[in-house]
A and B are shown apart, each in its own frame.
Chain A
């Protein structure tokens, strides 16, 4: 066993050339459009394998639950979105299980395969490393706005924020969540990096804390890239986005890389049209994470 519950996926070494990775992830739907929801779920499941620099997913199994009163076409739509995303990632969806449940659930399990020496872990970041993030932050306030603008009393509270900002946040979040981290895994196979993790439910700071603790270093963030419109929404909702603590869904990859390899990493990401932001650095320490007082916030 090379990695267990503390990592994004479990890793078991089969022989000197092959390690098998497994992950399981599901949640209740966050958007009403079934195919988009299916794509978000597939993006989230596969991301845990890609976070470990393994682009090869050999099997995906879906997990779905839906209530008696939910129209069948919604369930079919979610599965279609899930299957389409897997196909586009060349990740074979080979089965799964669906049950009736009082509330809907969508997700799955993914199995990846890679060379044991080419797997990237959350541990391993070193003092002096630079930190690169591959997607902006802000899914939590954006999706809160998505829900609120569908409800009368929610719309009333959103009145003070220009509609174009709300739209930018919502559409940006949906695009972000349905964008795969697979190209990042492929880049990490080429460029020597020290550590990586994807950013999901625990937010930037929470996942960085895991990296810092497992690596026995401190992490400082001096830049926070956020979706356009989310600072205004965060002010309204009181979410801790500017503290790096807001939850993300199917977020980007946080990569620790030696300064000498930083430009190669950024060039490789650029070539694959992967967004990239230098967000901070690693220093000697004992597992602490801090967002700098004068953190630069950029809306993208």
Chain B
């Protein structure tokens, strides 16, 4: 099976709840099984995005922080 390339979404400068809203919109154009990589810098969004993604049935493949910036990889269900 062909491996799908990761999609990227930058939400730097966006504060809660905008990151989740932008992710939801972006996921509409992402294929099932494809990974969306989200880069942002809103502190509370790091936890909120992961919790929302799991509750929505998606898989959080990886979540990391470096300084103020976070990177979360979400595999669409």
Contacts and interface: CB of A to CB of B under 8 A. Distances in A.
Interface of A: 141, 144, 147-148, 153-154, 157, 236-240
B61 interface: no
B66 interface: no
B15 to A, nearest CB: 8
28 contacts: A141-B17, A144-B16, A144-B17, A147-B15, A148-B17, A148-B18, A153-B18, A154-B18, A157-B18, A157-B21, A236-B17, A236-B21, A237-B16, A237-B17, A237-B20, A237-B21, A238-B17, A238-B20, A238-B24, A238-B48, A238-B51, A238-B52, A238-B55, A238-B56, A239-B17, A239-B48, A240-B51, A240-B55
Interface of B: 15-18, 20-21, 24, 48, 51-52, 55-56
A147 B14 CA distance: 12
A148 B20 CA distance: 13
A36 to B, nearest CB: 20
Interface of B (DSSP majority class): helix
Contacts of A238: 17, 20, 24, 48, 51-52, 55-56
B66 to A, nearest CB: 23
A147 B16 CA distance: 10
A206 B19 CA distance: 24
A144 B51 CA distance: 17
Contacts of B15: 147
A160 B48 CA distance: 22
